[in-house]
Amino acid sequence: MPSREPRISLCSLFIAVIACGPESPGQTATTDASGATTTTSVPSTGSATTTSPTTGTDATTTTTSSASSDAGPATTTGSADTQGFVMKPDLPPPVACDPWNDTCPRGQKCKPNDRDGWEAVCADIDEDPAGVGEACESDELALFDDCPDGTMCFGFLQGQDSLRCTPLCEGTPEASSCADVCSGCMKYGNKLFGVCPARCNPLADDCPAGLGCTTYVFEPRFFCSSFVRGAPGAGAPCVGPSDCESGTACLPANMLPSCAGESCCAPVCDLSQPDPCDAAYPGTVCAAWPTVNPDFHAECLPPDLGLCMAAP
């Protein structure tokens, strides 16, 4: 992908067009009654001007008299330089739109941004965008980005290394979904929009820099987010998935040998490797992933992934 200049989050748009006049405007020649020849430069505007040639200035006029004052009209030579700068008029303000129902014109997309508070406007789609899930260069707050239609450059405000072309949620704020069932919709801007973060493997912690792998046990879903960085580790009480650090999952207390709350963070484990659970969370063993949810999506579970739980 070609290099692109990063865009700042608060952006102003200035467009200048250089309009260049002809290098050698057309000339007309006439002969007066005295026989003197007058050559007149005709600029592209259609009006006649008389300017001296090759003076090095834009607007210098020289008029040369003929041999005698009574011989006829003065003889004038010159050329016109119509080069200059033409500024386009101010562009109209961006058109507001709804990320949940994108009705922007062809070639544009509904882009959430945060210039002065979260909003969404129709913005031009990059002519050579990065692919879905690929690194991008314009942060979440920018008016424009280098991602394809239906996505935005997003990284949970964790900096340049975290940014990826991330799909926007589908449906409505109340009934949201993601094209990838193994991802999950995370809403922002008072539900102005939602994003479907990239999938991850909690054993590998393969998320972009600054992000960690959040685990939703009973769906199951595993996707990158910023919430798990610095969160409590194994054995700590939790309320939901974002309360546990990457590599652990929030489990109900009745699935654990001991827990100081209604739920606690339990490590994930690899069923194909020696059992690490008792050392990480005393009294637990590496067990097969629980599938108690009737809507469990088995295709979203990474191979050999287990959870440290109370021994059966």
Specify the number of domains making up the chain.
Answer: 2
Same domain as 173, residue 217: no
Identify whether the C-beta of residue 198 lies closer than 8 Å to the C-beta of residue 165: no
More confident residue, 138 or 22: 138
Task: With respect to residue 41, please indicate whether it lies within any of the assigned structural domains.
Answer: no
The pLDDT of residue 80 is 44
Same domain as 224, residue 302: yes
Same domain as 303, residue 232: yes
Q: Rounded CA gap, 35 and 84, in Å?
A: 37
Same domain as 168, residue 222: no
Task: With respect to residue 71, please indicate whether it lies within any of the assigned structural domains.
Answer: no
Identify whether the C-beta of residue 86 lies closer than 8 Å to the C-beta of residue 112: no
Domain boundary at 161, 178, 195, which? Answer: 178
Domain boundary at 178, 197, 220, which? Answer: 178
Is the pLDDT reported for residue 301 higher than 60?
yes
**What range defines the domain where residue 217 resides?**
212-310
User: Hey, what are 40's tokens?
Assistant: 């007149």
Task: With respect to residue 160, please indicate whether it lies within any of the assigned structural domains.
Answer: yes
Same domain as 292, residue 219: yes
Task: With respect to residue 137, please indicate whether it lies within any of the assigned structural domains.
Answer: yes
Same domain as 172, residue 228: no
Domain boundary at 178, 200, 221, which? Answer: 178
Task: With respect to residue 239, please indicate whether it lies within any of the assigned structural domains.
Answer: yes
Same domain as 225, residue 154: no
Same domain as 306, residue 245: yes
The pLDDT of residue 84 is 52
Task: With respect to residue 37, please indicate whether it lies within any of the assigned structural domains.
Answer: no
Task: With respect to residue 83, please indicate whether it lies within any of the assigned structural domains.
Answer: no
Mean pLDDT, all residues of the chain: 77
Q: How do residues 16-28 score in pLDDT, each as one tens digit?
A: 333 333 333 333 3
More confident residue, 259 or 232: 259
